Every structure is written in C-alpha cells, then in structure tokens.
Amino acid sequence: MTNELPRFEMRPLGQEEGGGYLIEFPEFPGCIAVGETPEEAMAEGADALESYRNTLRELGRPIPASGDVFGGQWRQRVPKSLHAALARRADHEGVSLNMLVTTMLAEGLGRRI
C-alpha cells in the first residue's frame, strides 16, 4: 500500500458519538475508520482501506480507481474581464453566477452531443 490515500473526508465526532475523528473514502462506500486524533484516524483509515481493497480482490470485484467519482465541483480560473462580463450577465438575468455558467455549459454541451 502506498502512503498516499485516495480522496477522503474527515470530520470530528461529537461527544455523543464517542469523540475523536471519523475518516471515510467516498470512492470506497462503507470504508470508514476512527481515531482519537486526525493523524490516528488517517493511519486507521489506511489500514481499513487496505483491508477493503483486499476483500474486493478476494471477491473478484473491481477496485475503484481514484478519481472515478465526480462530486459536481471543480475550480476554474478565468480572466478578470470574463468573470466581470459573466457576473454582469447573471445580474441582468436575475440569476446567480453559478446558475448562469451551469446553464451555458449545459447548453453548449448539448449542441455537441
């Protein structure tokens, strides 16, 4: 197992949940671990992930490749002038910048399919 973990989410657990930290791997449903500290949770998560992958191998199931899950978000850098023009257009149409750009992308993609 490499030292690099695939994409993970970590959150603190409340006292009613026992405290500590929970780590989970969205690309590996059900693969979770807990630890008293974030570092311990990551170490426990690495062990859980290795066991999870071994189980998939034993069952003859495919192991998800990192990055196979699309969360619906990414960062895109654009020129300031384009950002300003899009913001003005969104304001003129009474929608958020996010909604305007999403609609434009969907319409543009639809024309190419």
Domain locations in the chain as residue ranges? 9-58, 80-112
Q: What is the mean pLDDT of the chain?
A: 86
Q: How far apart are CA 24 and CA 31, in angstroms?
A: 6
Both structure tokens of 37: 């500290």
Inform me whether the pLDDT recorded for 18 exceeds 70: yes
What per-residue confidence (pLDDT) applies to 64? 81
pTM (predicted TM-score) = 0.55
User: Residue 30: left if φ>0, alpha if ψ -120 to 50, beta else—which one?
Assistant: left
What per-residue confidence (pLDDT) applies to 111? 59
pLDDT digits (tens, 9 = 90+) for 28-76: 889 999 999 999 999 999 999 999 999 999 999 988 876 555 667 778 8
